[in-house]
Structure 1
Amino acid sequence: MNATPNPPKKRKTGAPRPSPTLSRAAIVAASIAVADTRGLTGLSMRKVGEELGVEAMSLYNHVTHKEDLLDGMIDVIFAEIDLPSPSDNWQAAMRTRALSTLEALERHPWAAPLMESRATPGAATLTHHNTVLGILRTNGFSVRLAAHAFSALDSYIYGFALQNVNLPFDALSDIQQATEMIVNRMPADTYPHLAELASTVVMQPGYSYRDEFAWGLDLLIEALEHTRRATDDPTPEPPAAAP
């Protein structure tokens, strides 16, 4: 007599469970990898899914939409930036922070336009901003002057980063070749100052445009220190309590 075969097991119904191999951190890391290779225009849920070897729809178990994903990506970039100690001299602290920020933006060229654009910043972003402001405040900057300094420094850092990554050359040999090509198409008698700059500075051995960053940063920090020393705290005192 033949044994009765076991009936097939019924599949459980309900919402699919998130894949145990996925996490928000893994999705954000994969998204950064895609953006580093393809830029923001090449970033899509489908490409991130391909990077992780999963269907794009499974990503939505961990991120709600692309803006949420960008929030997480920018928070990771802020976490990569070295933050000095609040007890450090403010000039040295701002140099450390600025150079580390530039290095992070060189690793992730797509990030500079987004660094201050997030309406829902993450913990690393908020910690970064709070620390920078704290260093300025504990070193004699008024609230208003700290705001000015923070804005000026960030404008310089992000602006330099954008210009640096968009230059039409990558290496020292490239900049010299590109400059020589431009000079050859640029009559020196018509554009004498550009020709002088190219021959005297840019085409000299060892020139690197990136070295301009430190020079400009020192100039800005020196100007901020001069302003700090010369400016009284404009924050009004709270009104005295009534007798």
Structure 2
Amino acid sequence: MAQPTDPARRAPLSRDRVLRAAVALADGTGIETLSMRRLAQELGVVPMALYKHVANKEELLDGMVDAVVGGIEPPDLDPDWRAAVRRRILSAREALRSHPWASQVIRSRSGPTPALLAYMDSVIGILRTGGLSVDLTHHAMHALGSRILGFTQEVFDAPPGAAPGAAPGAAPGTGSDPRAGEQAAALRQLAERYPYVTELAGAAAHDDSVVGQGCDDQFEFEFALDLLLDGFERLRQQGWTSSPAGGRAG
């Protein structure tokens, strides 16, 4: 007797279905597990069937990026350009945090995908209609960098091989571990050589933050974003320009 077929597997294959399945697979098992063969298995088709909808894995990854970026809330018509940009970026951060692999894939692309270009265009549009010159907008986009998509490379990322929650200058446990004394001595030497790094790293207890002891990732992201947006507004009001005649700092 034939086994019943999963209705989802009987659904006609389409580019949208392929991309949604790829995103779900990466969400569930990590981007490293994604392959055309594995995706075909998830969809219940032969691998060659996928190539009617995506030419290769690179096109698949581009499509996955666009699927995630397409989930960012559309821009609003807030007359306060800073509030509008802030909401746009924080919406992007929420979308990407729902797909932990997405920032890694975005960084791996050789160029922006159509959805990324549309998103960037919308942010630039908010800056321009908010009164920022083309010159200031250009430098503002550089200053925002990857923050425009809601992620940053943090200065206090845990070093390779560190235990979860460890951070620069964190004191190791003692107990009966014979290496504890050596580690403590090494940390004392580091404190003597880099006193301010050690002071900052030891200011509070580490938890799961990627930005350092006692840090709240979302707070730190918004703190830096608000500093940038306020700075752009101050320069806009001053009529700042990057040309030497316009008073650019050396």
Under a length normalisation based on structure 1, what TM-score does the superposition of the two structures give? 0.71
Structure 1 position 183 matched with structure 2 position 186: no
Match of residue 228 from structure 1: 236
How far, CA to CA, are the matches of 2:142 and 2:37 in structure 1? 36
Q: Distance in 1 between matches of 2:116 and 2:194?
A: 45
Cα pair 1:136 1:146 within 8 Å, conserved: yes
Match of 1:93 in 2: 84
For 1:199, which of 202, 206, 209 is the aligned residue?
A: 202
Give the letter aligned to residue 199 of structure 2.
E
* 1:66 Cα offset (Å): 1.7
Aligned partner letter, 1:35: A
> AA paired with 2:95?
A
User: Does structure 2 conserve the Cα–Cα contact (< 8 Å) formed by 1:82 and 1:97?
Assistant: yes
The answer for unaligned runs of 5 or more in structure 2 is: 1-9, 173-182, 208-212, 243-250
Give 1:183 shift.
2.7
Cα distance per residue 1:180-215 (max 9 Å; x no partner):
983334224444323322332454996424421111
3-state SS of paired residue (2:63): helix
Q: How many residues align?
A: 209
One-letter identity of the residue aligned with 1:52? L
Q: Aligned partners of 1:203 and 1:71: how far apart in 2? A: 36
Q: What's 1:148 paired with?
A: 139
TM superposition shift of 1:28: 0.5
1:73 to 64, 67, 87: 64
* Preserved CA contact (<8 Å) 2:158 2:168: no
> What pairs up with 1:25-174 in 2 under 5 angstroms?
25-115=16-106, 117=109, 119=111, 121-122=113-114, 124-157=115-148, 160-163=151-154, 167=158
Instruction: Kindly indicate whether structure 1 or structure 2 has the higher relative contact order, using CA contacts under 8 Å at least 6 residues apart.
Output: 1
Paired residues of 1:23 and 1:62 also in contact (CA < 8 A): yes
| Shift in CA distance, 115/229, structure 1 to aligned 2, threshold 3 Å | farther
* TM-score, normalising length: structure 2: 0.69
Structure 2 partner of 1:211: 219
- Does the CA contact (< 8 Å) of 1:75 and 1:121 recur in 2? yes
Give the drift of 1:111: 2.0
**CA deviation after TM superposition for structure 1 residue 161, in Å:** 3.8
Report sequence identity in percent: 39
Against the structure 1 CA distance between its residues 160 and 24, is the aligned structure 2 distance closer, same or farther, given a 3 Å change threshold? closer
Cα offsets for 1:14-45 (capped at 9, x unmatched):
xxxxx852111111111112223444432210
**Worse overlay, 224-233 or 179-188:** 179-188
DSSP 3-state at the match of 2:85 = helix
Partner of 1:7: none
CA offset at residue 130 of structure 1?
Answer: 2.3
After superposition, the Cα gap between the structure-2 partners of 1:167 and 1:58, relative to the gap in structure 1 and judged at 3 Å, is farther
- Cα deviations by residue, 1:78-100 (Å, 9 ceiling, x for unpaired): 11222331444111112112222
Report the AA paired with residue 45 of structure 2: V
Structure number with greater Rg is: 1
Give 1:179 shift: 3.7
Give the drift of 1:58.
0.9
Tell me if structure 1 keeps the 8 A contact 2:132–2:236. yes
How far, CA to CA, are the matches of 1:223 and 1:100 in structure 2? Answer: 21
